[in-house]
Chain A
């Protein structure tokens, strides 16, 4: 869990032996960037805490027992607005599959979960600007839909 701390620690040590001043300058830059964005990350934390209230049961109910294309659309939408860490998302996807939900629907949900971040908008806009953030997410949504359909075809769930 704290692997990145070890990596950063070692990097700082090496850098410090190589060039003291450069290292201090680098740490200052890092701190400046960090302190500037921290507030936005805290805001994101609050948003995510609420979003995760959308329970597993809700997702299972909505994605299960739908006609494939309704399920596909639902998967894309739910995946776009929610955000959850992998250790919650993948077991949930496993449950969906075991309940007989199409792989296509699961792919739609999982891929938009990763590619489309409505919730992470506040952070992304700070680094990319509003326009790039919106276009990138639209592209992510289209890519996710294509991936889901291809998955459906390759699993023999939808006929072409």
Chain B
């Protein structure tokens, strides 16, 4: 399995190199479609470069500094309803959206958070990011954003509890990303 993973990773790098060569070639040959793909690529690449490396530094520090006990206490089975509040607050302040939320959720889970908290966290991270919501309200109106957040948060918590129970029942294990 581990060896297989390594192989897929290698393929990803090879495909990526070919892809970058294709974009550079497209610019030189004025291949319109390729250049458009290239500028799309730049949009997301800039996003990822500005977010991913520091995010993983913080995840690493989080891993060594935050004790398993405190995660269990606040995001685990013993924490009652307040774990959803914490999960949503953590989500609202997570910089970088889902790209960062996925690895953070995985780390939380392996430190003792239960399913329903990490599902709430990841889902809320894409729904209530503060900077995004402000932008949305300024373009579509405060009413729109208020409805979206107001309706979604209860639904997010309910669905997280349902999914959490389901995954506990079937004894599902989330892969360890290390």
Binding site for B on A (CB under 8 A): 1-5, 7-9, 11-12, 15, 22-23, 25-34, 36-43, 45-46, 48-50, 52-53, 85-88, 90-91, 93-94, 97, 103, 106-107, 110-111, 114-115, 117, 120, 123-124, 126-129, 131-132, 135-136, 139-140, 142-143, 146-147, 150-151, 154
Contacts and interface: CB of A to CB of B under 8 A. Distances in A.
Contacts of A8: 53-55, 57-58
B167 interface: yes
A151 B8 CA distance: 43
Main secondary structure of the interface of A (DSSP, over half): helix
Interface string B68-107: 0000000000000000000000000001101100110110
A36 B147 contact: no
A106 to B, nearest CB: 7
Contacts, number: 225
B149 to A, nearest CB: 9
B47 A129 contact: no
Given A30-B56, A32-B178, A50-B37, A11 B61 contact: yes
Category for how many chain B residues contact A: 35 or more
Contact of A129 (B143, B163, B173): B173
Contacts of B43: 52, 85, 88
B48 interface: yes
Given A39-B9, A129-B172, A151-B151, 10 more contacts: A4-B50, A11-B57, A12-B57, A15-B61, A45-B45, A85-B47, A86-B131, A127-B174, A143-B159, A150-B151
Contact of B144 (A91, A117, A131, A151): A151
Contacts of B15: 43, 46
Given A12-B61, A32-B178, A110 B136 contact: yes
A85 B152 CA distance: 20
A143 B102 contact: no
B139 A93 contact: yes
B56 A31 contact: yes
B50 A1 contact: yes
Contact of A115 (B59, B105, B123): B123
A32 B60 CA distance: 9
B53 A46 contact: no
Given A22-B64, A28-B60, A127-B177, A4 B54 contact: yes
Contacts of B62: 26
A127 B105 contact: yes
B41 interface: yes
Interface in B123-157: 123, 126-127, 131-132, 135-136, 139-140, 143-144, 147-148, 151-152, 155-156
